[in-house]
A and B are shown apart, each in its own frame.
Chain A
Amino acid sequence: MNTSNLIVCRCEEVTMEQLEEAYQSGCCTARQIKMKTRATMGACQGRVCRQMLDAWVHLKNPQLPRDAEQLSYRPPIRPVTFGQLAKGEV
């Protein structure tokens, strides 16, 4: 199976090939790859691809400690509009 054009991050359309390129250019943690490729920075904020990116980096470099540079979680847990927030509908 050709995995090079496999999309990892759907929101930002980041492919496996781009991850590989970023890795080859010296990005070795999930956070560095995120900064280089925008993977996990789209509308879903990594809800879909965070685990895949983490797992891929771990596969590339199993020696790297898991908590070297973790991807951050940002509140809120669920996206809400300011209107919902103001009315307390959440």
Chain B
Amino acid sequence: MDRIENHPILGPRKTKREPVDFTFNGEQWAGLKGEPIAAALLAVGIRTLRRHEESGSPRGLYCAIGHCMECRLNVQGKGTVRACLTPLEAGMCISEGERLPNEITGRRLP
């Protein structure tokens, strides 16, 4: 998906953002420094940010204002963060939120 470079109301982007590299699930991608992780991933076409802990169904950006916790994923060194609120930094190692094993129902993961 393309970034909005020229907004119909806000006009053209005023500040240039520095391109940075990051990894998502081990794959190398490029984004813009300081943009939300979710925006960087959306820009390269990644929409699944997390798997539901219980069912494993794919989840993505939902409210985009830090409200719903749907987009939480793991950033090395920061733990679980919300992709919509966390600014992208150079060299971030990001991995999607994973389905978890469940001792009570006996679900084990491969």
Q: Tell whether A pairs with B.
A: yes
Chain A residues within 8 Å of B, Cβ to Cβ: 10-11, 13, 42-44, 47-48, 78-79, 81
B residues apposed to A, CB below 8 Å: 52, 54-55, 57, 59, 62-63, 66-70, 72, 79
- Across the interface, B67 reaches (CB within 8 A) one of A13, A42, A47, A81, namely A47
How many A-B pairs have beta carbons closer than 8 Å: the answer is 27
Whether A44 and B67, one on each chain, are in contact in the complex, defined by CB atoms closer than 8 angstroms, is yes
Which residue of the partner chain, among B54, B55, B67, B79, contacts A48 with CB atoms under 8 Å? B67
- Majority secondary structure, B binding face: loop
| 25 examples of A-B residue contacts, CB within 8 angstroms | A10-B59, A10-B62, A10-B70, A11-B68, A11-B69, A11-B70, A13-B52, A13-B54, A13-B55, A13-B57, A42-B69, A43-B69, A43-B72, A44-B67, A44-B68, A44-B69, A44-B70, A47-B67, A47-B68, A48-B63, A48-B67, A48-B68, A78-B66, A79-B69, A81-B79
